[in-house]
Amino acid sequence: MQQDKALKSVTLQDIAKAMGVSRTTVSNAFNRPDQISAELRERVLAMAKQMGYAGPNPMGRMLRTGKTGVIGLVFSEALPYAFQDPVAIAFLQGVSSVCEKVKASLLIVPTLESDVAQMTIQQAAVDGFIVYSMPDDSEAVAKVLERKLPVIVVDQPNLSGVPLVRIDDHKAAREAALHLLGLNHRRLGIIAMDLLSDSYVGPVNSQRLERAAFEISLLRLRGYEDAMREAGLDFNKVPIVECPPRNSENDAFEVALTLLKQDPRPTGILAMCDILAIGALRAAEHLGLSVPKDLSIVGFDDIPLASVIRPSLTTIQQPLIEKGAIAAELLLGISIADRDSHKTATATTDKIPDFVMGGVFDLNENPHKVLETKLVVRESSGPAPIQLR
């Protein structure tokens, strides 16, 4: 008889009524074992099971408590691409490790720009958002901001008043370029990540640079530029081709080919991420060029694959996983130092910790977290060919 009732969903109320106790008592049986006699609790739980009660409804609870125990994650790319991107994946590892630690769930919000559909952001029942590497003009980011929830941005965009976790892209890129320059390379080519979110593939002109919506790409480019200018190179003569890394390595391959078919051919390629660098590696192989004898290639990110492929990739290492972990920790208001002490203190509780609290989460203190990078020299870079200069 109560079976059909189950279909229409049993509530706290129902089981309270069936037992002749109050809702509070039933609620306590589930949420506050110490506030109710063990015997009664047992009976309540038994009745609940018998009636097919699914447990306290999360939506009711969330509405009541105002907390969700969920952090929202917003990616710039289409989701399937994001899950193909080793950099994003590493970031996710970091985020998820922290989530797991504090028993928070992770809501991955699909957010196709241009669509009417950042509705998903408005609808997301979360305690805060992590925005991962979005363009400056993203509507999705605007929607996130409208939610007036705690927000952490990773990489970009740099919004005033919003904490940012990043690296010093300018400095890191400069270091990459200096590495090649120090090896006497004088003819360099650049494979850039997207400057705009229009999936354009091809040479970069000054208009694109001015309109650039991805600050990271711009910063890295400026880093390359500064190093080259310091070395006395005419940056205007340095070929720059743009290629969104998400389009798999094929585009990168093609783009690198165009670069390598120029006359005179570059002896060094600076790629703004490892995926692009790997595309260049394949292009070199395709053209019968030896790396690093004929051509040096420097990537960026140090994804796992970078150290595995042959020749292994010289690249800028950035702490990808840590980036995710720190973003999550900032959002959750957990200082790394406090973590362990807090953990044990919280461990006994069987409720979701109040991790997202206005108070704990202080926007003013340390709004930017800049992580360290370092150049990792591997096989893909070497001295410039002598006969060429």
Partner DNA sequence: CTGTTAGCGCATTCAT
Partner DNA sequence: ATGAATGCGCTAACAG
Binding residues for a second copy, rule: CB under 8 A, are 6-7, 9, 52, 54-63, 66, 68-70, 78-80, 82-84, 89, 92-94, 96-97, 99-100, 103-110, 112, 116-117, 119-120, 122-125, 146-149, 321, 350-352, 358
Please report how close the Cβ of residue 21 comes to DNA at its closest, in angstroms: 3
Query: Please, what is the minimum distance in Å from the beta carbon of residue 141 to a second copy?
Result: 15
Q: Which does 377 bind (CB under 5 to 8 A by kind): DNA, a second copy, none?
A: none
Q: 371 — alpha (psi -120 to 50), left (phi > 0) or beta?
A: beta
State in angstroms the smallest separation of the CB of 4 from DNA: 14
For residues 143 and 174, which CB has a smaller minimum distance to a second copy in the complex? 143
* Interacting residues with DNA (CB under 7 A): 9, 11-13, 20-25, 27-28, 30-31, 34-37, 40, 55-57, 59-61, 63-66
Longest dimension (CA), the chain: 94
Q: Which is nearer to DNA, 25 or 373 (CB)?
A: 25
Least Å distance between CB 108 and a second copy? 4
Give 102-157 as a DSSP string. Answer: HT-EEEEEP--TTSS-THHHHH---SEEEEES--TT-HHHHHHHHTTS-EEEESS-
| Contact between 15 and 25 (Cβ < 8 Å) | no
Residue 103's binding partner out of a second copy, DNA, none, with CB under 5 to 8 Å set by partner kind: a second copy
Q: In the numeric block, which tokens belong to residue 116?
A: 């009417």
- Pick from 209, 384, 378: which is nearest to 299 by CA? 378
> Is the bond preceding residue 304 a cis peptide, omega within 30 degrees?
no
Task: Please state the closest distance from residue 127 (CB atom) to a second copy, in A.
Answer: 11
Nearer to a second copy (CB atom), residue 160 or residue 348: 348
* Partner that binds at residue 120, options DNA, a second copy, none, CB closer than 5 to 8 Å by kind: a second copy
Nearest distance from residue 20's CB to DNA, in Å? Answer: 7
Go through 140-154 and write b for each residue having 16 or more CB atoms within 10 A of its CB, e for each that does not: bbebbbeeebbbbbb
The smaller minimum CB distance to a second copy, of residues 180 and 326, is found at: 326
Closest to a second copy by CB, 111 vs 317, is 111
Which does residue 25 touch among DNA, a second copy, none (CB within 5 to 8 A, set by kind)? DNA
Q: What angle do CA 317, 319, 324 make, to 5 degrees?
A: 145
Task: Tell me the residue ranges of DSSP E strands in the chain.
Answer: 70-75, 105-109, 128-132, 151-154, 164-167, 188-192, 202-203, 240-242, 268-271, 296-298, 315-317, 368-371, 374-376
Nearer to DNA, 44 or 227 (CB): 44
Please give the distance of CA 313 from its chain centroid, rounded to a whole number: 22
Residue type, 139: E
Least separation in angstroms between CB 125 and a second copy? 4
Q: Are 75 and 327 in contact (CB under 8 A)?
A: no
Compare residues 55 and 202 and give the one whose CB is closer to a second copy: 55
| Residue 146 contact partner, candidates a second copy, DNA, none, CB within 5 to 8 A by sort of partner | a second copy
Q: Which is nearer to a second copy, 40 or 108 (CB)?
A: 108
Q: Quote the least distance from Cβ 59 to a second copy, whole Å.
A: 4
